[in-house]
Amino acid sequence: MVPAPTPAPGTASASEAAGQDGLRDGCRVPIPWSGGEPPYGFGPGGSWLPQPEGWGAFSVAAQTGDPHSTLELYRAALELRRALPGLGAPEAGTGDGPAVGMRWLPAPDGVLLFSRPGFACTLNTTSARVELPAPGRPVLSSAPVETDGRTVLLPPDSCTWWAM
Predicted local confidence at residue 13, as pLDDT = 54
Query: How many C-beta neighbours within 10 Å does residue 118 have?
Result: 18
Predicted local confidence at residue 124, as pLDDT = 98
Per-residue pLDDT of the chain (164 residues; tens, 9 = 90+): 556 666 555 555 555 555 555 545 556 778 889 998 888 998 888 787 778 888 899 999 999 999 889 999 999 999 988 888 777 765 554 455 555 678 899 999 999 999 988 889 999 999 999 999 999 999 999 999 999 989 999 999 999 999 98
Predicted local confidence at residue 18, as pLDDT = 53
Q: Which of 99, 132, 105, 130 is nearest to 117 (CA)?
A: 99
Predicted local confidence at residue 143, as pLDDT = 95
Cα–Cα distance between 53 and 7 in angstroms, integer?
11
Predicted local confidence at residue 134, as pLDDT = 96
Cα–Cα distance between 113 and 109 in angstroms, integer?
11
CATH topology of domain 103-163: Immunoglobulin-like (2.60.40)
Residue boundaries of the structural domains of the chain: 103-163
Q: Are 118 and 129 in contact (CB under 8 A)?
A: no
Rg (CA), the chain: 20
Predicted local confidence at residue 105, as pLDDT = 94
